[in-house]
């Protein structure tokens, strides 16, 4: 049985991506939650994760004797080892485009990621309004996301009834699920087509299961939430 080591569901956007990918695709795995802590040498998180991943980060996928870390590497490995799940688009051009936008997410959108940390249980609309007013980088990141998603939704809307970025659910939708969490929780403005896509993503059983798990955690980590003193 594959084991997927993840951080807090409420905070860990990188953990969310492969978890949702596996869950939504119906691929069996055992979840191992390693909750965030001080990250000091010798902490529970450090002892558990450092023993698996020399980079010291989650998520980590363990499949037998094989250990795979980094979200994009995990997605590629799962797509190859579970080819029947068709986690990338079948068409070569679509597949290349899907990989391109996932790589863009992996390396980019730093303003949105840094200033709008994922926090699924919180209403951060007031913080979002201030960030939107004051942070041009966030506005630029959201503009790029809106442009990307609107183009893909318009291009592939007729290819499958699921209404995902490439018609049916793929790695790309799992990869951008944490972005949906940020856009909704910070109430950042998006057009109607993008809002409808975000609603469809939140309704996916795999995403809903992750959200339910995040809401059940009831954790408060001050370093993850510089915008409030308590839950």
pLDDT of residue 73: 98
For 22-79, what is each residue's pLDDT tens digit?
999 999 999 999 999 999 988 999 999 999 999 999 999 999 999 999 999 999 999 9
For 137-177, what is each residue's pLDDT tens digit?
999 999 999 999 999 999 976 555 689 999 999 999 999 99
Full domain range(s) for residue 132: 92-214
Token pair recorded at residue 221: 């980590």
pLDDT of residue 228: 87
Kindly state whether residues 63 and 175 are assigned to the same domain: no
pTM of the model: 0.96
- Residue 204 is given by DSSP the state S
Kindly state whether residues 115 and 173 are assigned to the same domain: yes
**Listed residue (11, 42, 6, 9) closest to 223, CA to CA:** 11
**Listed residue (54, 171, 10, 38) closest to 101, CA to CA:** 171
Token pair recorded at residue 98: 């899907």
3-state secondary structure of 84: helix
Position 230 confidence tier, pLDDT thresholds 50, 70, 90: confident
Kindly state whether residues 67 and 119 are assigned to the same domain: no
- Residue 158 is given by DSSP the state T
Kindly state whether residues 96 and 210 are assigned to the same domain: yes
* Tally of CB atoms within 10 A around 125: 12
**Listed residue (68, 56, 54, 90) closest to 22, CA to CA:** 68
Report yes or no: 68 and 60 within 8 Å, Cβ to Cβ. yes
The CATH number assigned to the domain holding 46 equals: 3.40.30.10
pLDDT of residue 161: 63
Distance CA 140, CA 30 (A): 38
Tally of domains within the chain:
2
**At residue 96, does pLDDT exceed 70?**
yes
Give the mean pLDDT of 108-127. Answer: 97
Kindly state whether residues 53 and 73 are assigned to the same domain: yes
Kindly state whether residues 72 and 116 are assigned to the same domain: no
pLDDT of residue 159: 52
**Listed residue (42, 102, 45, 104) closest to 74, CA to CA:** 102
* Tally of CB atoms within 10 A around 151: 12
For 171-229, what is each residue's pLDDT tens digit?
999 999 999 999 999 999 999 999 999 999 999 999 999 999 999 999 999 989 998 88
| Torsion of the alpha carbons at 87, 209, 111 and 38, rounded to the nearest 10 | -120
Kindly state whether residues 100 and 203 are assigned to the same domain: yes
């Amino acid at each position: 049985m594959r084991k997927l080591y993840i951080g807090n569901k409420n905070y860990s956007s990188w953990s969310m991506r492969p978890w949702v990918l596996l869950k939504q695709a119906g691929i069996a795995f055992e979840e191992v939650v390693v909750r965030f802590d001080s990250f000091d040498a010798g902490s529970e998180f450090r002892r558990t994760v450092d023993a698996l991943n020399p980079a010291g980060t989650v998520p980590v996928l363990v499949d037998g004797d094989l250990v795979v870390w980094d979200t994009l590497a995990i997605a590629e490995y799962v797509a190859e080892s579970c080819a029947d799940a068709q986690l990338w688009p079948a068409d070569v051009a679509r597949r290349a485009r899907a990989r391109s936008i996932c790589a863009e997410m992996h390396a980019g959108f730093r303003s949105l990621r840094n200033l709008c940390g994922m926090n699924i249980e919180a209403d951060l609309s007031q913080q979002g309004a201030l960030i939107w007013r004051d942070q041009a980088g966030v506005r630029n990141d959201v503009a790029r996301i809106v442009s990307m998603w609107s183009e893909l939704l318009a291009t592939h809307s007729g290819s499958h009834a699921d209404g995902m970025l490439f018609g049916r659910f793929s790695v790309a939708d799992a990869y951008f699920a944490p972005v949906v969490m940020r856009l909704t929780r910070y109430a950042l403005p998006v057009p109607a087509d993008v809002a409808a896509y975000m609603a469809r993503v939140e309704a996916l059983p795999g995403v809903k299961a992750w959200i339910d798990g995040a809401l059940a955690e009831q954790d408060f980590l001050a370093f993850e939430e510089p915008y409030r003193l308590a839950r």
